[in-house]
Amino acid sequence: MPYAPSAHSDEELREWVVSQLLPSGGVVVAEIDGSVVAAMHSEEADGSSWLTQMAVHPELVGKGIGSLLLAHALRTLPLPIRLYTFQANAGARRFYERHGFRAIEFTDGRGNEEQCPDVLYELCAQRTEA
């Protein structure tokens, strides 16, 4: 993500995934031929469900994998569902907006490790398809 430099080394990220993220529960992965190609983490806090992590292998973005993970979240998590993404991540913003999320707050980035402006999204009601 050229607009959001990593606040941690690859080694630190791996350690965090193993010691913190996976043991916390709420991790769902997508696999192709036995290889993890996407992951999502959710948790419940402050009366909301939160998608705290969503990542798809860059070569597979736009292939529907993120939509499948999000569909799982929409089936299993109570509303409202909230998440943050960087304001500069236009692809992620279009993705969440296409799935019915609405921006409810824009920040200057002081609240995240990368210090990059972000946007808080919320989904309060399931979309109904006509």
Task: Render pLDDT for 108-125 as a digit per residue (tens, 0 to 9).
Answer: 989 888 889 999 999 997
Among 92, 88, 91, smallest CA distance to 53 is for: 92
CATH classification code of 24-123: 3.40.630.30
3-state secondary structure string across 99-115:
CCCEEEEECCCCCCCCC
Which pLDDT belongs to residue 1? Answer: 58
Is pLDDT at 101 greater than 80 in this prediction? yes
User: pTM score > 0.85 for this model?
Assistant: no
Cα 11 → chain centroid: 21
Give kind and range of the element (H or E) at residue 90.
helix 90-98
Task: Render pLDDT for 26-78 as a digit per residue (tens, 0 to 9).
Answer: 899 999 999 999 999 999 998 999 999 898 999 999 999 999 999 999 999 99
Count Cβ neighbours within 10 Å for each residue of 7-20 and write b for 16 or more, e otherwise. Answer: eeeeeeeeeeeeee
Instruction: Enumerate the domain spans of the chain.
Output: 24-123
Task: Render pLDDT for 80-100 as a digit per residue (tens, 0 to 9).
Answer: 999 999 999 999 999 999 999
Which pLDDT belongs to residue 14? Answer: 72
80, 42 contact by CB (below 8 A):
no
24, 53 contact by CB (below 8 A):
no
Which pLDDT belongs to residue 37? Answer: 95
Cite the DSSP H helix spans in 1-130: 10-16, 65-76, 90-98
Determine the average pLDDT of the residues in 7-13: 70
Give kind and range of the element (H or E) at residue 92.
helix 90-98
Which pLDDT belongs to residue 57? Answer: 93
Which pLDDT belongs to residue 130? Answer: 45
